[in-house]
């Protein structure tokens, strides 16, 4: 009987010392992962994360109430949608492919090539209010959005819990804050590859180990753009002094011999208008890459085998259709996309390595699943 008492006392004292201040948020980080960078004005809390999850899966966030964030970001597909290009709530086709949200809290920039959007809070404005293309279609309807949320019983509890210091927590900015908090918890780092590097020698096949050697070697050179714990050079976390932005051209197209990409997917050029940035996109994380087909910013490569072939070829020579041109000769192409010798064995090894980055626990983690289903099923 005494033991529990002793255990509780220090906690009790702590609570007294801290008064009513919120408890520090406890991250569930895989071994070796740093904490994501969290904006000072949007600290993490369990209530906020839960609110964010509710909102992420709530179709009231679209104008016609047909789509939520999860419509284009499915957990089972590492929060991509399996489509070549995304489709918005009004049926408008997005020019680009839905991006994985795995480890999105560590991304230096969001979206495929937008250097202006660096934090998840403003990022959510794009899909919510953007009109070119229309995604969730809420432009001009912010009052309606807030009114819809205000009417939900779950939110009447969760909004004040998540934002206790606010007199009226029902605002668009709180929606953005909660969505960002939830997305920062979408951390994936428990793949067989991680288990292997953390000492479980049975976690990775011989083939995957050979693939890893090739991946991190100077012949295939994959790691230059897809290195580090998140397998991308576009990285930001709490311990980093400078964000590392990265936008690279991997030789998919060259329509005019001067590096032109098919409209409207010009990559970083859209923002810099510097021709050298034409066709430069962010190297996405390769974690869970085996479940996020099709690939590239425009979904133009269907399988991982073909992606490997693309890099072995040093780019893509398009010989028919509207995008004819030899991307291998694109003047803006990354110096690391030079091609390498690909044997069937090497192809299989690289594939095995990339497949070993699939984190099943992440894809099925109930903390990231649709919470409204649970509510409906509850007695």
Partner 1 sequence: MKTKTIFLSLLTALGAACGDDVSQTTVSLQFALTDGDTEIGCDDLLAGVGADAVDLEVRDARFYVSNVRLVSASGEVPVALDDVSPFQISDVALVDFESACSDAGDTNTNDVVVGTVPEGEYTGVRFTVGVPFELNHIDQVVDETTTTPEPLRATGMWWNWQGGFKFIRVDLAPTPDSTSPGFNIHLGSTACMGNPLMGEDVTSCGNPNRMEVELTGFDPASDTIAFDLRAALDGALTNQNTGAALGCQSFPMDEECPAVFDNLGLPYGGVAPSGPQSVFRVR
Q: Kindly state the helix (H) or strand (E) to which residue 181 belongs, with its residue range.
A: helix 172-184
Q: Which is nearer to partner 1, 136 or 363 (CB)?
A: 136
Two structure tokens written together for 370: 């649709």
How are beta strands 317-318 and 325-326 bridged, if at all? antiparallel
Q: Which of 95, 227, 228, 339 binds partner 1 (CB under 8 A)?
A: 95
| Residue 272 near partner 1 by CB under 8 A | yes
* Closest C-alpha among 26, 193, 185, 28 to residue 101: 185
Instruction: Name the residue nearer to partner 1 (CB basis): 164 or 217.
Output: 164
Tell me: does residue 256 bind partner 1 (CB under 8 A): no
Q: Which residues contact 306 (CB under 8 A, 6 or more apart)?
A: 295
Binding marks (x or -) toward partner 1, 198..217, rule CB under 8 A? --------------------
* Candidates 23-31, 66-74, 136-144, 354-362; binding stretch for partner 1 (CB under 8 A): 136-144
Interface with partner 1 in residues 100-119 (CB under 8 A):
108, 114-118
What's the closest the beta carbon of residue 169 comes to partner 1, in angstroms? 10
- Taking CB under 8 A as the rule, does residue 269 contact partner 1? yes
The DSSP 8-state label assigned to residue 139 in this structure reads: T
Size of the site for partner 1 (CB under 8 A): 41
Question: Are 333 and 249 in contact, with CB atoms under 8 Å apart?
Answer: yes
- The per-residue b/e assignment along 258-267, b for 16 or more CB within 10 angstroms, e otherwise, is ebbbbeebbb
If one asks whether residue 305 binds partner 1 (CB under 8 A), the answer comes out as: no
7 membership: H or E segment, kind and range: helix 2-18
Site residues, partner 1 (CB under 8 A): 63, 95, 108, 114-118, 122, 125-126, 129-133, 137-142, 166, 168, 171-174, 176, 236, 242-243, 245, 263-264, 266, 269-273
């Amino acid at each position: 009987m005494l033991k529990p008492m002793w255990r509780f006392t220090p906690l009790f004292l702590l609570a007294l010392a801290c008064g009513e201040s919120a408890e520090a948020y406890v991250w569930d980080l895989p071994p070796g992962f740093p904490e994501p960078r969290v904006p000072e004005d949007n600290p993490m809390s369990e209530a906020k994360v839960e609110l964010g999850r509710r909102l992420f899966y709530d179709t009231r966030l679209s104008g016609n109430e047909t789509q939520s964030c999860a419509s284009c970001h499915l957990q089972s597909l590492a929060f991509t949608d399996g489509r070549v290009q995304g489709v918005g709530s009004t049926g408008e086709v997005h020019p680009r492919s839905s991006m994985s949200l795995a480890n999105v809290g560590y991304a230096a920039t969001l979206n495929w090539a937008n250097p202006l959007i660096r934090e998840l809070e403003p990022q959510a404005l794009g899909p919510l209010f953007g009109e070119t293309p229309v995604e969730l279609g809420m432009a001009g309807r912010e009052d309606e959005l807030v009114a819809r949320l205000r009417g939900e019983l779950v939110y009447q509890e969760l909004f004040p819990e998540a934002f206790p210091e606010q007199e009226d927590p029902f605002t668009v900015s709180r929606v953005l804050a909660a969505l960002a908090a939830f997305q920062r918890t979408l951390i994936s780092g428990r793949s067989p590859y991680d288990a292997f590097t953390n000492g479980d020698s049975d976690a990775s096949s011989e083939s995957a180990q050979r693939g890893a050697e090739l991946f991190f070697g100077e012949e295939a050179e994959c790691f230059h753009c897809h290195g580090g714990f998140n397998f991308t050079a576009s990285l930001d976390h709490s311990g980093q002094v400078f964000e590392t932005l990265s936008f690279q051209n991997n030789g998919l197209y060259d329509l005019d011999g001067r590096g032109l990409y098919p409209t409207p997917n010009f990559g970083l050029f859209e923002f810099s208008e510097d021709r050298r940035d034409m066709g430069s996109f962010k190297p996405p994380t390769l974690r869970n890459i085996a479940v996020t087909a099709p690939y590239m910013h425009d979904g133009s490569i269907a399988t991982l085998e073909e992606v490997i072939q693309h890099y072995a070829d040093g780019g893509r020579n398009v010989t028919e259709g509207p995008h004819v041109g030899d991307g291998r000769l694109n003047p803006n192409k990354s110096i690391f996309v030079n091609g390498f010798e690909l044997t069937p064995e090497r192809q299989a090894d690289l594939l095995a390595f990339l497949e070993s980055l699939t984190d099943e626990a992440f894809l099925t983690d109930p903390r990231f699943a649709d919470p409204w289903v649970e509510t409906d099923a509850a007695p």
